[in-house]
């Protein structure tokens, strides 16, 4: 297969990849990604279509928590295969009927080029974009990708939890346990990455004796955040 063909068949971006460069049309005008949000976190999320019940509840929920996302230096940007005028009319409807003004931009991917590039069209879900979520860090690296079917709305509080977890992990060099900060074993404490040498194991045992950390075993240690 020729190099050009390989490039054309390249799959969607994966966790750890840089978010692909693209210029998109939005309800806030033309935006260049990922440059627009360089230096901060952002969540790009797609929805099947404007003026649909589940999507409407999602946009309302995102907007209700928009201040919380911004407190975490995290921006939001939506996307669907609709035209700008459809997005604008839907935003107007949400504000008039539900009392929330959508403040974040929505990409109008009328020709489906962005959806194709990001792998948002899944055969089993028809020709509309699935409910996808891309979490991107300040270095424009994709840190998480999530997919949901059309019939299941997303949990925005989980996205806030994930951003908080990523930021804590990056700042403190730790891992985040299940259901953090309400983990069933260690509550709001964080996990120390496993030791990778005999010396590191000995150091970990000493730290446990000194009360700096607590361990179930040398490979599962935790400490206060």
Catalytic annotation, residues: 55
The phi-psi region of residue 40 (left if phi > 0; otherwise alpha if psi is between -120 and 50; otherwise beta) is beta
69 contact partners, CB below 8 Å, separation of at least 6 = 43, 75, 76, 159, 160, 163
For residue 181, whether the previous peptide bond is cis, meaning omega lies within 30 degrees of 0, is: yes
Answer yes or no: are the C-beta atoms of 82 and 47 closer than 8 Å.
no
How far is the C-alpha of 156 from the C-alpha of 146, rounded, in Å? Answer: 12
How far is the C-alpha of 193 from the C-alpha of 185, rounded, in Å? Answer: 17
Question: What is the side-by-side order of every strand in the sheet holding 190-192?
Answer: 190-192, 220-223, 214-217
């Amino acid at each position: 297969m020729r190099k050009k063909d390989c490039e054309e068949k390249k799959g969607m971006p994966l966790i750890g990849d840089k978010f692909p460069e693209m210029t998109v049309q939005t309800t806030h005008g033309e935006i260049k990604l990922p440059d627009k949000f360089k230096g901060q976190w952002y969540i790009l999320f797609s929805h099947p279509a404007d003026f649909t019940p589940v999507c409407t509840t999602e946009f309302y929920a995102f907007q209700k928590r928009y201040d919380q996302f911004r407190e975490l230096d995290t921006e939001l940007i939506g996307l669907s295969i609709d035209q700008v005028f459809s997005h604008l009319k839907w935003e107007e409807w949400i504000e008039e009927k539900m009392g929330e003004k959508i403040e974040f931009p929505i990409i109008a991917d009328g020709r489906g080029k962005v959806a194709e590039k990001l792998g948002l069209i899944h055969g089993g879900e028809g020709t509309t974009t699935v409910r996808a979520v891309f979490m991107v860090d300040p270095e424009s690296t994709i840190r998480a990708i999530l997919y949901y079917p059309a019939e299941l709305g997303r949990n925005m509080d989980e996205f806030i939890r994930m951003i908080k977890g990523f930021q804590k992990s990056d700042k403190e060099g730790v891992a985040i346990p299940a259901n953090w900060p309400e983990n069933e074993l260690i509550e709001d404490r964080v996990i120390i990455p496993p030791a990778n040498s005999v010396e590191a194991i000995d150091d970990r045992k000493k730290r446990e004796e000194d009360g700096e950390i607590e361990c179930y075993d040398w490979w599962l240690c935790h400490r206060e955040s």
